[in-house]
Amino acid sequence: MGTLDEKLHSLRAGEISAEQNIQNFLDKIENEKYNAILYVNSEALEEARNVDRKIKQGRAGKLSGLAIAVKSNINVKGLKTSCASKTLENYSATYDATVIERIRREDGIVIGMANMDEFACGSSGETSYFGPILNPAARGRIPGGSSSGSAASIAGGLSDLAIGSDTGGSIRNPASHCGIIGIKPTYGLVPRQGLIDLAMSFDQIGTLGRDVYSTALLLEVIAGYSKREAVSRKVENLDYTSKLTPDLEGYKIGYVTEFEELTDRRINSEIKKSLEKLEMQGAELVEVNLPNLNKALPTYYLTTFVEFFSATRKYDGRRYGYKIEDVCGEEILRRIHIGSYISQKEYSGKYYRKALQFRSLITRELLEALRDIDLIAGPTTPKLPHRLGEKISPLDMYSYDVLTVQAKQVKSEISLLEYSFRQNLLKNRRFSM
């Protein structure tokens, strides 16, 4: 399999048509065994033929007929945006999310809607109302979550690229488990309009792909200021692809001792090898301490439970057909109940306000650590994926997120460095930022 860069060249040179590209994926999706794609875009071929016309006229955009799988919590006009929940099983989006408008503008083609953990709550891809997603890269193991279908569609060859959402790890975690690339962009870099909330102060739409170049290219397409939203950032330079370089001379890369203490030794030994490679490429390794890391998980869960509870109040049975509590899975119900409990006035000081204080503390600590280094390198999850269907406790499930939940608002330039860094790790495909 060539790189996506090569495929783009072939598409532009007319060696393959966008229509053939899309037809190939539609055939594969029809027989797929991963339960990765829930709905197919019935207009994809027609859209591809339009792109072919533009290619012939030399005016096709950056994505020139590439197939994009979209997580089922991002609105695509006319397609079922169910959040993999019975609650929204009959909801078809009435508009395109801003990121979808941008993908279409650059001639990317939405191939279908990807399966996911229900309402993006989960780390294993097992909580979808439509059944679990399988891991194409590790048979019998969970694919990670919650953007499980997006990751599996890349690893299983069902689309060129995918988009997902990441609140506390939901892109990075499945990318890591499926051996592909995934990125959670800095908060505010990518417009969130059209994304169905899990927790609005954490959620970001991001990209998944099988190589660094294409994952960065898709980010380049969807990133950038949008006047529709208050938290959108004005970032001047959105060119992520021309800066990819294997040269790490002058880079200071931090590794976190607390990460190592929390992580399975088999993963640690892979990380160690990768760090040594980075050093060989010219980077300077710097030890970093994050002593408040142990507060990250409870802070994340308390805050997101409250935000999720509030986000779900609109599913009251009058607008979307079902009342969420009547039809949702166990994990969703748990979050609604805990969120409702800790939102009560008499408890808010005890839990929610304290969590917000810890959140600022963790952010400060991370920004402080990043002041003297270019980036932090480390494992994505502390343990290897468990067997599909194996019963694990909610707390064990939450602990998959201990290394990813603290990603917060850091300066957007970090993203560029992450990509450069990523390219060096391509050979070690288990590694994902």
Which residues are designated catalytic? Answer: 71, 146, 170
Nearer to ligand GLN, 35 or 165 (CB): 165
Q: What is the DSSP string of 307-335?
A: HHHHHHTT-BSSSSSSBHHHH--HHHHHH
Shortest distance in whole angstroms from residue 391 CB to ligand GLN? 17
Single out the residue of 21, 41, 123, 415 in contact with ligand GLN (rule: CB under 6 A).
Answer: 123
Work out whether the CA dihedral 285, 207, 115, 427 comes out positive or negative: negative
Single out the residue of 166, 211, 258, 307 in contact with ligand GLN (rule: CB under 6 A).
Answer: 166
Contact 127, 121 (CB under 8 A): yes
Closest CA to 427 of 249, 137, 211: 211
Q: Which of the 8 DSSP states describes residue 40?
A: E
Single out the residue of 122, 136, 182, 382 in contact with ligand GLN (rule: CB under 6 A).
Answer: 122
Q: Where are the alpha helices (DSSP H) in 116-202?
A: 148-155, 172-177
Single out the residue of 146, 148, 263, 406 in contact with ligand GLN (rule: CB under 6 A).
Answer: 146
124 contacts ligand GLN (rule: CB under 6 A) = no
Q: Which of residues 351-410 bind ligand GLN (CB under 6 A)?
A: 401
Max Cα distance, the chain (Å) = 66
Contact 398, 301 (CB under 8 A): yes
Q: Which of residues 268-327 bind ligand GLN (CB under 6 A)?
A: 304
CB-side neighbour CA atoms (13 Å) of 256: 26
Decide the pairing of beta strands 284-288 and 109-114. Answer: unpaired
Decide the pairing of beta strands 37-40 and 109-114. Answer: antiparallel
Nearer to ligand GLN, 167 or 420 (CB): 167
Shortest distance in whole angstroms from residue 62 CB to ligand GLN? 27
Q: Which of the 8 DSSP states describes residue 133?
A: P
Shortest distance in whole angstroms from residue 47 CB to ligand GLN? 29
Single out the residue of 168, 179, 191, 209 in contact with ligand GLN (rule: CB under 6 A).
Answer: 168
Single out the residue of 11, 38, 70, 120 in contact with ligand GLN (rule: CB under 6 A).
Answer: 120
Binding site for ligand GLN (CB under 6 A): 120-123, 146, 165-170, 198, 304, 401
